[in-house]
Amino acid sequence: MMPDRFNSDRSSTTPQIPRPSVLSATANGNDGKHLVIGKAVTIAGKISGCDRLVVEGHVDVTLKEVKFIEVTQSGVFKGDSAVENASIAGTYEGTLKVSGHLEIARTGLVKGNVNYKTIAVASGGQVLGTIESDAN
């Protein structure tokens, strides 16, 4: 006898659809203060008050009150920012002040004035300009 495929219990085999991080941000206790600039998006102006900014597209902005910036491999950031932590895998051009940790991936390029507390630069990552440590 064949099992009834229409009336069987499928709850154990039904895959769960992952919740997007933007929708689950409040559940994780961080108030949903995330901004993702998509690959095909260009933004100019000021961004403030977000905990995490992810740049996949092109931005020409001044950042204020942003805790973490991530510039992905496809991302281009032009402007000035003062953040707690930063991860650069794309291009960052301007003034970057990092009060915590700065990480530059092998595909990362930072041009301009850089100030940081701790830094990690992967083989292939580049920093062109003035670089200063505030490690004390």
Other C-beta atoms lying within 10 Å of the C-beta of residue 130? 10
pTM, rounded to two decimals = 0.76
Alpha carbon distance 129, 11 (integer Å): 57
Helices (H), 18-111: 21-24
How many angstroms separate the CA atoms of 120 and 83, rounded? Answer: 16
Q: DSSP assignment, residue 22?
A: H
Low-confidence ranges of the chain (pLDDT < 70): 1-31, 136
Which pLDDT belongs to residue 18?
44
What is residue 128's predicted lDDT score, i.e. its pLDDT? 96
Contacts of 125 (CB under 8 A, 6+ apart): 88, 104, 105, 106, 107, 108, 109
Helix-, strand-, coil-residue percentages of the chain, each rounded to 5: 5, 50, 45
User: For position 135, what pLDDT does the model report?
Assistant: 73
